[in-house]
Amino acid sequence: MTSRRLPVLVGFLVLVLGIAVVLAVGAGAGRRNVPARVSVPRVFPGSSHLTADSTRSPLGRAVALYRQGAGVGIAGTPQVLAQGSDGHGTRTVDVALDRGRGDALGDPAPATLSPDGSLVVVGERRATPAATDLVEITTATGAERVVRLPAARGVVPVAWSQDSRYLAYVGADATNVVESAVAGPLFVLDTRSGRSELLTGDVGAAAFSPDGSRVAVQSPGSPRIRVLDRSGRTVDQLLAPDRARIAGGAAWSPDGSLLAVLDDVRDHVGFVPVAATAVVPAPVPSGGRVLGWLSRTELLVPAPLTSVGDGDQRLLRADLVEGDTSVWASVPTAGARYAVRDVTLATALLPRAQLVAGGDVDRGPWPLGLRIGFVVAGAVLSSFSVVGLQRRAAAVGSLVATAAWFSDSSID
């Protein structure tokens, strides 16, 4: 073999070996075990482009889903992150980014986490004329399923039944509008059968009752809250305070006696009695919708935006009996450069969740493109290294030959 071919051969061998290792790592992802214990880190992992995708490297079971960063023109590249129920694993949900690329600001498509942490569902901000659908991602295997839906202008998930079977979504165009402005017909999807049915029209917020038999709905700007059965028939009506709306899909208390309502102006969550005998607690400070309930008297809400500043986004535990709040967990914002939005928690897992120290983050294998890039760079550097060694060896050989010529006594 000529010396000129050696660098090429070494680079080729490094390239082949590196790609083989990369593919072997990817093939070994398969299924991830679901831990029996539900752990939540006190500090959630921050944004990182070294985080693996949930479909290529399964998480097992998720306990939280949240978005960090914003789209084009605003500081920070967006990521949708899923936090594992083992307290350490985290993955990106690239499907949400891919489905949101049609948005003018580059925002991800709306995504939500099922109450049992087994499914991530990604909707779409604007449906195509040809089809309306959503994507279900199984957290244990990373498998994707596209579910075809009745024609609508978009798919914006708003509420889950507590058994993770039924998903309520608004069929509205959600491109470049704030969450509170999204309104349209409300559909209910049976995730087991894949069938979706229209429940009612002109809805901006909704919440399932604890047993999933009823759905509270509210039209934008209206103080009237209608309680519907699964057929869409009105079985009860409630009255919310002025400027208040249903505080997200987890607004209904676990005992069914209260419905939380969000007042964006006053930055607090108040309560509307559903049962005549319900004791209505005082409002609690909140920067957004209810994230879940730890018990029938303890709920989780995001801290008011005015209290965040340049620090982390805090998730507050509010005790309705004692009337106080405390920090339950937080999500880093890197000095407010990566705004945190659209936090969804696995609400059915919260009552038995245990807080653990953060820091030991499992982000999975590096993204495939990055790993292949490093392999190619390693192959190129190997070739240049061989060339360098050959030149050095040639230089040393020349010096040895010159020294031998001077020391040769036969030379006159």
Mean pLDDT (the chain) is: 83
Q: Which of 215-224, 292-301, 349-358, 401-410 has the lowest mean pLDDT?
A: 401-410
| Helices 368-407/5-27 angle, 10° precision | 150
Give the Cα separation of 328 and 343 in Å (integer).
Answer: 14
pLDDT at 286: 93
pLDDT at 402: 57
Tell me the average pLDDT across 144-158. Answer: 95
pLDDT at 20: 52
pLDDT at 360: 81
Q: How confident is the model at residue 349 (pLDDT cuts 50, 70, 90)?
A: very high
- Model confidence at 391: pLDDT above 60: yes
Q: Which of 126-140, 226-240, 369-383 has the lowest mean pLDDT?
A: 369-383
Q: Which of 9-23, 267-281, 335-349, 356-370 has the lowest mean pLDDT?
A: 9-23
Q: How confident is the model at residue 28 (pLDDT cuts 50, 70, 90)?
A: very low
Are 40 and 87 spatial neighbours (Cβ–Cβ below 8 Å)? yes
Q: How confident is the model at residue 75 (pLDDT cuts 50, 70, 90)?
A: very low
β-pair partners for 238: 225
Query: For 197-206, how does the pLDDT look when each residue is reduced to its tens digit (9 = 90+)?
Result: 999 999 999 9
pLDDT at 74: 44
Query: For 250-274, how does the pLDDT look when each residue is reduced to its tens digit (9 = 90+)?
Result: 999 999 999 999 997 888 999 999 9
- Model confidence at 190: pLDDT above 80: yes
Nearest to 169 by CA among 133, 210, 221, 118: 133
Phi, psi (5° rounding) for residue 8?
A: -65, -45
Structural domains for the chain: 1-25+366-391 (no CATH), 37-257+338-356 (2.120.10)
Token pair of 22 as six digits = 């990369």
- Model confidence at 133: pLDDT above 70: yes
pLDDT at 375: 54
Higher pLDDT: 160 or 389? It is: 160
Q: Taken in order 297, 298, 302, 306, is the CA torsion positive or negative?
A: positive
- Model confidence at 163: pLDDT above 90: yes
Nearest to 137 by CA among 124, 120, 159, 125: 120
pLDDT at 378: 56
- Model confidence at 404: pLDDT above 60: no
Tell me the average pLDDT across 165-187. Answer: 84
- Model confidence at 333: pLDDT above 90: no
Please compute, for residue 236, the number of CA atoms within 13 A of its CA located in the half-sphere on the CB side: 16
pLDDT at 182: 82
Query: For 82-127, how does the pLDDT look when each residue is reduced to its tens digit (9 = 90+)?
Result: 999 999 999 999 999 888 866 556 688 999 999 999 999 999 988 8
> Percent of the chain, pLDDT > 90?
55
- Model confidence at 281: pLDDT above 50: yes
pLDDT at 4: 61
Are 158 and 174 spatial neighbours (Cβ–Cβ below 8 Å)? no
Pairing relation of β-strands 214-218 and 324-331?
Answer: unpaired
pLDDT at 48: 85
Token pair of 327 as six digits = 């920090």
Nearest to 161 by CA among 135, 136, 191: 191
Tell me the average pLDDT across 18-35. Answer: 55
pLDDT at 310: 57
pLDDT at 77: 74
